[in-house]
Chain A
Amino acid sequence: MFGRKRPVSDFNAEIEAHLQLEIERLKEQGLSEQEARAAARRAFGNVMHAEERFYESGRWLWWDHLCQDVRFGLRMLAKSPGFAAVAILTLALAIGANTAIFSVVDAVLLRPLPFKDPGRLVWATEHFAFGPSTVISADFPAWKDRNQVFEQIAAFGGTSGANLTGAGEPSRVTITRVTTGLFSMLGLQPAAGRAFLPAEGKQGQDKVVLLSETLWRNRFGSDPRTIGETIRLDGAGYLVAGVMPANVRPQADVWTPLALDADIFSAHSPQWMMLAAIGRLKPGVEISKAQSDLQVLTQEMDKEYPPEAAQFRAHETVEVIPLHEMMVHNVRSLLLILLGTVGFVLLIACANVANLLLSRSVVRGRELAVRAALGAGRLRLVRQLLTEALLLATIGGLLGSITGLWATKILRQLIPATLPADVHFDPRVFGFSAAIIALALFMFGLIPALIASRTDVNERLKEGGLRLGASAGTHRLRGLMSVGEIGLSLILLVGAGLMVRSFLRLTEVDLGFDPNSLLLATVERPLTAAFDSQQHSAFFQSSLERIRSLPGVKEAALTQRYPLGPPHNATMMLRVQGAENFRPSQPISVTAISPDYFHVMRIRLLKGRTFGDRDVEGAQKVVIVNESFSRMVFGERDAIGQHIGFGEPSPTWKEVVGVVADAREDALEKEPGPEMFVPYLQQPSFSMTFMLRTESNPLMLAGSVREAVLSIDKNQPLSDTTTMEEVIAKSVAPRRFRMLLLGLFALLALSLAMIGVYGVIAYSSTQRTHEFGVRIALGADRQDILKLVVRQGFKLALLGVTMGVAGALLLTRFLSGLLYEVSPHDPLTFAGVAALLMLVALAASYIPARRAMKLDPIVALRYE
């Protein structure tokens, strides 16, 4: 039953043999050669028919038909390359966009985490009434030793920098400290050497280190002899135990073990560490059970803390969520919005190609009618038309999938850095692409094919000419499709418009400082056991002097933390002299600065004075606060001369000497919060950033700053040099990227919809050529013809815009998390986009309308 066993030629030879045998027999009976041949043929019947029947009995007939259809389809496409190019390009763009977004969705949301048995991994954290969500190090031993729900629980934290010295130039590396069981719990194996031993989680044995594969390669040339060597981090020696592969999370250059018997794990320690905890649930344990178990343990711990801690522990709660959810929750909604967006683009593209195919099938009405008249069944016609659609879908789909996968390189930045995932081609992405191609084929292929094949042969052939076969139904369908296209693209444009408005709002934000020509160079001193603050201050002071005198530097200052820079610790422990019961409602950041910081940054001094040369160690402790602080703490009262203390239960009082204007510190979109500034000579810091106001391009000075620092301390690297403009650009980069992405898709949708409207109007005005001719001949004004055609486009646009506005009102609320100071129902955006779409739709119908207007009635009337 599979395939034909005999070739056609063999069958033909048999029939030929048959005829010869018969002729010879007849000749024996006395017939002439000619008579015998005729008689043999007569007796045989229709030779062709036998051959044909033999042919059709072949099992691969459908394959032959398919080949025919494909060949024919390719010929038809080649005959109208413009049509084919538009259709294929449209599909490729839409399918490519879908594949690209889906492959990111797949990598981020669908694929399980690349850890051992990821389904049971959970993220556990404590929430406090104020401040960040974290696990206080003193609570962790209780969680680890007394819980009933985890097979294993591990923690990490204290990500910081250290100066790696020894071989070559000193460099800055990031260190993350992990409990010894973390990597094995995640199922992560070292690429070389060994992982941490359980015994190394104790003080005295914790001077071991794991290197990242990247650091091992770049710094040590992947030399296996590095393992077992000792490296120096901030001057202290660490034994290199092994190398971890690149996909390890939490990311760092080096990892060191957390010694669980260290002071920070005691409730009575003067300081704690902020940890993150990951656990593996015992089989069958519910997440809610784990959460209540940890909550109970944490409340039991309350008793162990000193009374001063009662305030901050007052409202703590524990939350346990799946690890995967924790890692992706920032991008989930964005990815789903993008998936919806490209889905819309695909719908529009399909409607467009369906429109194109429909107008073609109408033009080809005569051809189809002739085929039907010659005996082609309806199924055969549908199959022929479907094959053409299939060709378009396949070529467009393949092209789209390839470009889509290529485009994922750009989209990779949507993947959160904490997620060890990368975009790659997997069966799911392939399946998704195939599925949307099939969907597209069904939508733009089957419907037009069914409509076109519903041919009344007689009617078609009678009608003749170009006026063939545009049934009212077909035309209504086409109109409806362009209405849908306009509606969908309006929704996307509104979405993009809202993003653009947000972005503009953001760039107009008053920063509170001048970001132009500012070079930032951060220096982190080794955080060694013997923290000599005087020595650090001296280093920074002489470096600042040296840098100030560099040619090209106008002014320079020091700060512990710069605006929009890395997050910074803040304090909740604020005391105000004369208002002992005052409790701050939010954390207050404290920044150590050099006296001229405000001047260099161009942050306005509102009241009092800035720091001066008098404000040194040993003198009266002073502090400058910002406007928000003054309003929150002192209200209408004058802040100058007040005394405040912070950071300790019984603080030394500091006098408020100045009030400065607010500046955006955490993020452009975040309102400035309360801040305090102290002179760095009174509160030294081991990590400071040089802020340089330069005469020309700031980055040109980076080299001389590095040399200036090295000339003070030859072991001191710069950890980061950048400009303020770069910092700002970086802080808005994700928003900018999202805006461009949505904007791109919306523009794509708009142009597709316009092609659709143009197609419908142009086609229908061609259909009405005869009618227009009559109208003009009967004395209609040419302007009337123009109006007639444009009105049709106007109707479509109005209907589409109405539908789109309704849809957008329903859908834009999903965007609200991505907007900044713009309502999801922003009337300006809605009105602007609606007007734009009406205008473009009218323009698209104006071109065919002008053509109709210029008709020569004589030609038009003959036009049949």
Chain B
Amino acid sequence: MAKATSEAGKGVAEIEGHDLSAEDPLILKHYYHQMLLIRRFEERASEMYTKAKIGGYCHLNLGEEATIVGLTAALTDDDYIYTNYREHGYVIARGVAPGPVMAELFGRETGTSGGRGGSMHLFDARSHFMGGYGIVGGQVPLATGAAYALKYQGKPGVVICQVGDATTNIGPWYESLNLAKLHQLPILYFIVNNGFGMGTSVKEGSSEPDLWKKGSSFRIHGEQVDGSDVLAVRDATKRLRAKAERDGEPAIMDVVSFRFRGHSVIDPDRYRNADEVKRGRVEHDPLTHFARRLLEAKIVDDAYIRDTADKVEHEVQEAIDFADQSRPPAMKDLYKYMYATDVPNTISEAEQEMFQARLDVEEGEGKRS
């Protein structure tokens, strides 16, 4: 009893000193490249949104690049990721080409979800990216269930359940923590703590603002991590991941980062102090920090930084071109993914008539154009 309590009560922010010379320079460059790719992807996605290439809601990972790349760097192919709706970067960091991600944002058949999901609902079965979920907290029981299945089937790997800070205030979060610990599931609850749930600060929304403590009534270990340091995130994830996989010991990671912009592309961010945001972008920019460290350690030079910027610019432009040139899903496939097991009477006669009328209109327009 005493042991469990003290374990759950632990949670000191660990400052992990990194000797960059002990790291593989190629891997460090790879992290930098991925982080920059996410940065430019998101900046261009924002631009594409204002050009009305992207519809609906669109939430960006700007400022969270180190958090994302640090996380995925610690994972194996066996692992699964569930996230919230701010997830473009995770899919890219998991190895999916930026083209299909941008195509999903554009609503194209070549998108990661065939154009059916959009920005909030990316999915990639091959890389075990198990979905972005638009409803706050919705992914938490699902991810817990995925961990349940891994344990049930005796398979290797863990599940990452990424959530935002404000998700730690919703019911399914607590029900899931209870289930995860009861069943000793291989899962990490990975809180991207950018300080704000939309416009509500962590302190305004959570009676316990130290989010890493929020598993203590469930005897779940938690700790805080600097989300602007890619290596800190990677190492903490690696350590907790191993424990989750080996011992079935779930954990909470409170990964603190700075949100560069408003909640979504269209949020003018008026509830934050403009000067503080400006300062925050400079002080907490994971990319400039990491670049400086790499330069100081002479792992890269200015030419590398410039070349990588050019390369990334080109990659993102290619993604945009790919999305732009891809076709939207065909109208005739509207019902295509309705059910996994076909069933009679899915569409009524009346609905079939309406659907046919729309098909006819599309065909007519196709002939005219």
Partners in one complex: no
Question: Which residues of chain B have a CB within 8 Å of any CB of chain A?
Answer: none
Question: Which residues of chain A have a CB within 8 Å of any CB of chain B?
Answer: none
